[in-house]
Structure 1
Amino acid sequence: METGTIIFDPLLPWPSVLAGAILAVLFVGVAVWRGLSGWWLRGLAFAVLVLALANPSLQVEDREALSDVVLLVVDESSSQGISDRPAQVAEAIAGIEAEIARLDNVELRVVTLGDSEGNQGTLLMEALANAMAEEPRSRLAGAILLSDGQLHDVERAPDLPAPLHALLTGRETDWDRRLMVQNAPAFAILDEPVTLTLRIEDQGVVPVGLPERAELEISVDGGEPQLFNVPIGEDLELPVTLEHGGMNVIQFNLPEQPGELTARNNAAVVQINGVRDRLRVLLVSGEPHAGERTWRNLLKSDASVDLVHFTILRPPEKQDGVPVNELSLIAFPTRELFLDKVDEFDLIIFDRYKRRGILPSIYLDNIRRYVEDGGALLIAAGPDFAGADSIYRSPLAEIIPASPSGRVLEEAYLPTVTEIGQRHPVTEGFQPEVAGDGPPWGRWLRIVDVIPERGASVMSGVDERPLLVLDRVGEGRVALLASDHAWLWSRGYDGGGPQLELLRRLAHWMMKEPDLEEEALSVAAEGQTMVVTRRTLGEDVAPVEITGPDGAVVLVPLEEVSPGRFEATFEGPEIGLYRLVEGDQEAVIALGPSAPREFEETIASGAVLEPVVAATRGGVRFLRDGVPDIREVREGRVAAGRGWIGITPREAYVTADVRVSPLLPAWALLLLASLLAVAGWLREGRR
């Protein structure tokens, strides 16, 4: 196709041509003022000369017409997979392709989008903008959105130079019930109630006669669900008290009702990390000694620890004649601490304590009961532990994991981690390789010889004698450190050692921190990938049994990555709650969001898209009424009607060749100007 246009290619710069035109006007004006009858012929002559300077040319272009482009953005997110929507989408795509094929010089570009990352919902406008960026704007004749109308980025709608239409899936009778978690904290303090806010809503055309209350199932950490009858359409405040530290997984589930669109939004999972508010520790020092400051500094350095520390400075047998009213000591509140309020402490430490009659046997028996009910007791033994007044010779003997032989060895030795200690989380990694001829850490100078009766000896001293023995008693835990020389490491003696980390781990293990459990199955997730970790004191473990949200069971073998630690990586095929079992250890984890945003609104609606579509004079139509016809309409006209939608032809082209030639030869223009000038002279009668 050829098209011609007149252009100007001046022989002189445009300012010079303009100056010439001004001079011509002045000369003609003078002729008019003097009354010359040939002034108009003179003006024409000047006009021809100015036109010759402007050099009019004819530009001829060879153009190749380009086809118009129509964008079809197909929403294939999860909400489009419910009910019969996939069939509606397939039928609509086929119908649109047939309609576009019927039009001349029109191409169809099909773009699909799925679920977004990070639970952002349906990013329909982002997909449209990306598709527009790949096509020349001059060729866009229209865009069609094939969706349920529930998008989450309408504010990002691009500026479209052609009509935008929305074809919606869904049926008139659609209805759905959803469970929403409106408020759920990420952290909560143990043994203190925290409130979760839930809401159950019905959407769409709710069937007549449906009960106004629903049965809500609640299960914690995959346990047996509890059933509650709750109202629909009201905010539900649910008080929850966490019973253990670490991740607590709470699952809510509504039974599927007949006829509802999907059950994917009938369940929600909340993961709350349980933390302790303040750890209350009772430290009782039997007498002042160098290691007392080590325990105090360790416990006071942790801001989350409330420490109550008593040191017995003046035992009852000390008789020095000092009147009682002159002593600046407070009375030791034995009854209050060891009878009335002993259960308020998370950990009790006896540091070089011996029986002196201060604590009667009933008090010590109450501590034994406290440990069996879930408390923690740590004994840092000094030389008195081997004597006749040892704390072992009391009701506490029933829970202390090792008995004294009566010997105290006063010699230098290197504390070492036993084979089982290398697997135990308290001492894991504390056996460094010896560099050169020197020891890996400093030596201790005293150990109380004890005979292990139960528990695990994780550290040893002289001739592999037990140094640190850990044991579980009932619901509680007991640790026996058979030396009072841990303070040598803190003073840097003989190179020092990891005393702070060792004592910190020991204290936190006794207070049942989940990360320090020696027998535990834990799982962490990033996206859909799970990392399963099994800690054990044994040599090997069986494959972990993973049960998915759909009930499918997969056996995943574990590989040992370090002593006592086995790991495996598993890719979860879908979002939801997974249960893991290995032996007597269980764990649960939820993949994906607590409630996917894709299923917050499942009823098809054009309310969100109508303002965007109306701005381009397009239309919103439901596919239940059939696939509309596609027509061509002029730009600026209404592009939608009953049973049809329109696109705007763009008539875009690409220029293949350009030819430029003068409109008249220069000599012709000069001859014409001369003839006009002579004609004017003759008209004025000058021969």
Structure 2
Amino acid sequence: MMQVIYDPLLPWAAIWASAAGVVLIVALALWRRLPGWWLRGLAGAALLAALANPSLQDEAQTPLSDIVVLVVDESASQTLSDRAVQTARAIDEMERAIAGLENTELRVVSLGDAPGDEGTLLMTALSEAVAEEPRGRLAGAVLLTDGRLHDVDRAPDLPAPLHVLLTGHEDDWDRRLVVENAPAFAILDEEVTLTLRIEDQGQAPAGDGLVELDVAVDGGAVRQVRVPVGEDLTLPLTLTHGGTNVIQFTTPAAEGELTDRNNTAVVQINGVRDRLSVLLVSGEPHPGERTWRNLLKSDSSVDLVHFTILRPPEKQDGVPVSELSLIAFPTRELFLDKIDEFDLIIFDRYKRRGILPAIYFDNIRRYVEDGGAVLIAAGPDFASADSIYRTPLGQILPAAPTGRVIERGYLPELAPLGERHPVTAGLPDLAPPGAEGAPGWGRWFRQIDLDPRAGQVVMQGVGDRPLLVLDRVGEGRVALLGSDQAWLWSRGFEGGGPQLELLRRLAHWMMKEPELDEEALTATAEGQRMTVTRRTLADEVGELEITGPDGNVTTAPLQEVAPGRFQAEVTGPEIGLYRLSEGDQSAVIALGPAAPREFEETVASGAALEPVVARGRGGIVRLEDGVPSVRQVREGRPAAGRGWIGVTPRHAYVTSDVTVTPLVPAWLFLVLAAGLSLGAWMREGRR
């Protein structure tokens, strides 16, 4: 390519000033009617041309090929129906079509599902692809997709047309289950309301408008109901246990729908108790009584009813009852009428005193078997003839008193089983720094000798005798603490001990808090990685069995990380609901939503891309109608039509060599100017 360029000998300002002087001289000569005025003007022009120094520039240009970017959507929704086949065929046809265009190259970029649950980031992939190519060479871009993207707001500004090749079929349809509203927390045994919606997308077949909905809690028995399609459904639900409750909703797959991956919704609700109701009955005032009271009163979720028996009925000392009793002991209301309203009953150094007849103790036994909890903090009274063990309550106690009370110093310690039981596991780690003794705890000085008959011995005292025995009776729980001197730890005697933590765990185990169950399988998730914990009193466990969302079953070994605690870390290959089991324990956990974002809308549609495509006058073409041909169109013209899409040639090039040659030698301009000036002088002199 050749062109004229200027390399002035003087600054352009000086040249323009000289030009003004030449014009002035010519104008003066014309005004004076000098016949050589035009020769003076030509001489001045020759001098100005010499100062401008015109040159001829010859560029050797190498043309560059135009680039067309093809972004291929390989997300999960593109695996539905025959979209993968349509995609493969379209790629082959596009490669042949672009190869048939003169001086045009094709760049193919693929993208899958975004990390986590971000969906299809199609525009992000397009932006990154065009950023790697020179903007001046970009002749067009093509998106091979089902139109379901989640970042349309990141669409780049392209200098060329953008086209969409749409997979799928116009008569596709799909059914989707959506959770409109679900609480994160719910109170146990109280009804909570969830809002669901089942909606059909696309060309759904006509029906009666009702479908079946399966509801399962924690992977248990399935409850089936018929619900309408396209309406908000309000479902009442009552949680029966604390901790995480996993509720799964499923509608069966219908014939002809694209996928059943979005026919399931999983809701995780944390069950909490509204208030824990505790009845504390103290047989007589003693230092440990305040310890129990302070522990229970410090918990804002506990409603405490506390009675201390100060004066037995048989005591006759002439003192008026009104001066001794603050309130009458409502035995019938507490132990017959309203006993089932309590979550836990604690007997602290209580013995038979003629206040509670045998029928009341028998009702307490029935209360435990039906799911209640009783804790006995035994003092010397438990070993006496008036022991409450000698009532119907003794039928459910895990140990019997031998009648011996040991009065000497000893260090409470964990029994072998106690190192694994959640109530006592890890308690030695709570010992104060520098404390003496094996566990680093202070001594106690009284122990009731017990003969264990059931349950688990988790703490022991003098001569390895049972100190704390736990047991499950029917649906309820019973605990027997064979000493009334736990309060010494709270006073810091000889360094004290984890008294508050022990009693807190004990009380919460009695009230069936899930995190203190001795046999349990739990799981937590972070992203696609889940940590599974197996708590057990056994010395070893089997392998963890994992059932994925697709029904495939895999196993993973459980490694012991602490006494009674085995763990496994597993990465889920896909988002969805996983069922875990080991032995007779099972759990469910959801990694991400049961229906990933990629399957929220599965019917192919170009509606979201229409505004972006319209900017460059491109087109949206359904592949079921055939792969369009590709042709070249001028910039600014419509770039799509019936059965074809267009790309805009960019005519880009790179300059490989530049040659600059003066147009006329400077001395020639000077000779020409001198000759013209001489001619003007001679013409005017002859006149």
Q: TM-score, normalised by structure 2?
A: 0.93
Matched, 1:359 2:374: no
SS class of match (2:388):
coil
Per-residue deviation, 1:607: 1.2
For residues 324-372 of structure 1, give each alpha carbon's deviation from its aligned partner in whole angstroms, at most 9, with x where no partner exists.
Answer: 4455713333333332322222222222222323333333322222211
1:427 is aligned to: 424
CA distance 1:163–1:452, change in 2 (3 Å) = same
- Please state whether the residue corresponding to 1:551 is helix, strand or coil: coil
- Distance verdict in 2 for CA 1:121–1:435, change over 3 Å: closer
- Which residue of the other structure, out of 102, 109, 116, is the alignment partner of 1:104? 102
Change beyond 3 A, Cα 1:37–1:487: farther
Letter in 2 for 1:474: G
Equivalent residues in 2 for 1:285-434, closer than 5 Å? 285-316=282-313, 319=316, 321-326=318-323, 329-432=326-429
Corresponding residue number in structure 2 for 1:633: 633
1:249 aligned to 2:246? Answer: yes
Among 113, 124, 127, the alignment partner of 1:126 is 124
Partner Cα separation in structure 1 for residue 306 and residue 14 of structure 2: 102
Cα separation, partners in 2 of 1:360 and 1:684, compared to 1, 3 Å:
farther
Partner of 2:187: 189
Structure 1's 449 and 617: CA in aligned 2 closer, same or farther, altered over 3 A?
A: same
Aligned residues of 1:180 and 1:595 also touching (Cα < 8 A): no
SS at 1:608 equivalent: helix
The answer to whether structure 1 residue 622 and structure 2 residue 622 are counterparts is yes
**How far is the alpha carbon of 1:207 from its aligned partner?**
2.7
Q: Deviations over 1:103-130 (max 9, x none)?
A: 1111111111111222222211111111
Question: In 2, Cα distance between the equivalents of 1:228 and 1:273?
Answer: 24
Question: Does the aligned pair in 1 maintain the 2:47–2:669 contact within 8 Å?
Answer: yes
The superposition leaves residues 302-336 of structure 1 with CA deviations (integer Å, 9 ceiling, x where unpaired) of 33223333333444455554434455713333333
In the TM superposition, residue 14 of structure 1 has moved relative to its aligned partner by 4.5
Partner of 1:116: 114
Q: Which moved more, 1:579-588 or 1:670-679?
A: 670-679
Task: For 2:490 and 2:15, locate their aligned partners in 1 and report how far apart those are by CA, in whole Å.
Answer: 97
Which residue does 2:543 correspond to in 1? 543
Moved more, 97-106 or 519-528: 519-528
Are the equivalent residues in 1 in contact too, given 2:435–2:441 (CA < 8 A)? no
Q: 1:45 to 1:505 in 2, by over 3 A?
A: farther
- Out of 343-352 and 644-653, give the one that drifted further: 343-352
- In structure 1, distance between residues paired with 2:37 and 2:359: 136
2:145 corresponding residue in structure 1: 147
**What residue in structure 2 maps to residue 448 of structure 1?**
448
Q: Which moved more, 1:225-234 or 1:635-644?
A: 225-234
Structure 1 residues 4, 538: closer, same or farther in 2, change over 3 A?
same
In structure 2, C-alpha distance between the alignment counterparts of 1:483 and 1:610, rounded to whole Å: 79
Which residue is equivalent to 2:529?
A: 529
**What residue is the counterpart of 1:497 in the other structure?**
497
- 1: distance between equivalents of 2:211 and 2:315? 72
Change (3 A) 1:578 1:33: same
User: Which residue is equivalent to 2:134?
Assistant: 136
Q: Is 1:262–2:259 an aligned residue pair?
A: yes
Change (3 A) 1:379 1:671: farther
Matches within 5 A, 1:457-468: 457-468=457-468
CA contact (8 A) 1:74 1:111 kept: yes
- How far does the alpha carbon of each residue in 1:564-615 deviate from its partner, in whole angstroms, 9 at most, with x for none? 1122233434433332332221222233313222222221111111111111
Distance 1:42 1:552, change over 3 A: same
How many pairs were matched up?
684
Q: Once structures 1 and 2 are overlaid, which stretch shifts more, 400-409 or 565-574?
A: 565-574
- What secondary structure sits across from 1:431 in the alignment? helix
Q: Which residue, out of 152, 174, 177, partners 2:175? A: 177
Q: Letter of the aligned partner of 1:68 in structure 2?
A: D
Shift of 1:420: 0.6
Percent identity of equivalent pairs: 71
CA distance in structure 2 between the aligned counterparts of 1:150 and 1:464, rounded to whole angstroms: 69
2:232 to 218, 232, 235: 235
**Residues of 1 paired with 2:263 and 2:99: CA distance?**
43
Deviates more, 1:352-361 or 1:178-187: 352-361
Q: 1:644 to 1:408 in 2, by over 3 A?
A: same
Find the partner of 1:64 among 55, 62, 65: 62
| Structure 1: runs of 5+ lacking an equivalent | none
* 1:106/1:335 CA distance change after superposition, 3 Å: same
Three-state SS of the structure 2 residue aligned to 1:502 is helix
Q: What do residues 23-75 of structure 1 show as CA deviations (whole Å, max 9, x unaligned)?
A: 55555555566665555554554454445444444433332221111111111
- Within 2, Cα distance between the matches of 1:192 and 1:682? 122
Question: What is the DSSP-based 3-state SS (H/G/I as helix, E as strand, rest coil) of the residue aligned with 1:343?
Answer: helix
SS at match of 1:291: helix
Q: Which amino acid aligns with 1:469?
A: V
- Give the C-alpha shift of residue 181 in structure 1: 1.8
- CA distance in structure 2 between the partners assigned to 1:674 and 1:513 by the alignment: 113
Q: Offset of 1:453 from its aligned partner?
A: 1.3
Instruction: Please give the residue correspondences for 1:159-174 in structure 2 after superposition, counting only pairs within 5 Å.
Output: 159-174=157-172
Task: Say whether the 8 Å CA contact 1:457–1:468 is kept in structure 2.
Answer: yes
Distance in 2 separating the partners of 1:397 and 1:686: 153
Instruction: List alignment gaps of at least 5 residues for structure 2.
Output: none
Q: In structure 1, how many angstroms separate the alpha carbons of the residues matched to 2:60 and 2:306? A: 98
User: Which string of whole-angstrom CA distances, capped at 9 and with x for unpartnered residues, describes residues 445-495 of structure 1?
Assistant: 222221111111111111111111111111111111112222222222111
Moved over 6 A (4+): 433-437
CA distance in 1, matches of 2:70, 2:580: 44
CA contact (8 A) 1:422 1:431 kept: no
Amino acid aligned to 1:221: D
Kindly provide the CA deviation profile for residues 515-545 of structure 1, in whole angstroms up to 9, marking residues without a partner as x: 2111112223333333332211111122233
258-267 or 573-582: bigger deviation: 573-582
Residues 260-291 of structure 1: CA deviation (Å, up to 9, x unaligned): 22222222222222222222222233333222
Tell me: CA distance 1:48–1:568, structure 2 relative to 1, closer, same or farther (3 Å): same
Larger mean Cα displacement after TM superposition, 336-345 or 31-40: 31-40
Seen in structure 2, the aligned counterparts of structure 1 residues 678 and 364 have a Cα distance that, compared at 3 Å, is: farther
Tell me, in whole angstroms, the C-alpha distance in 2 between the residues paired with 1:577 and 1:96.
Answer: 40
Q: Equivalences for 1:519-668 in 2 at 5 Å?
A: 519-668=519-668
Which stretch of structure 1 is more off in the superposition, 17-26 or 663-672? Answer: 17-26
Moved more, 138-147 or 45-54: 45-54
* Distance across 1 between alignment mates of 2:306 and 2:3: 100
CA distance in 2 between counterparts of 1:291 and 1:10 reads: 107
Distance 2:561 2:409 in 1: 35
Q: CA 1:545/1:682 → structure 2, altered by over 3 Å: closer, same or farther?
A: same
TM superposition shift of 1:19: 4.6
Q: What's the C-alpha RMSD, in Å, of the aligned pairs?
A: 2.5
Shift in alpha-carbon separation, 1:350–1:437, aligned structure 2, 3 A: closer
Q: Is the 8 A contact 1:174 1:261 kept in 2?
A: yes
Q: Residues of 2 paired with 1:393 and 1:225: CA distance?
A: 46
Q: 1:538 to 1:681 in 2, by over 3 A?
A: same
Partner Cα separation in structure 2 for residue 505 and residue 521 of structure 1: 19
Partner of 1:272: 269
Q: Distance in 1 between matches of 2:357 and 2:44?
A: 131
Shift of 1:12: 4.0
CA 1:674–1:213 in 2, change beyond 3 Å: closer, same or farther? Answer: same
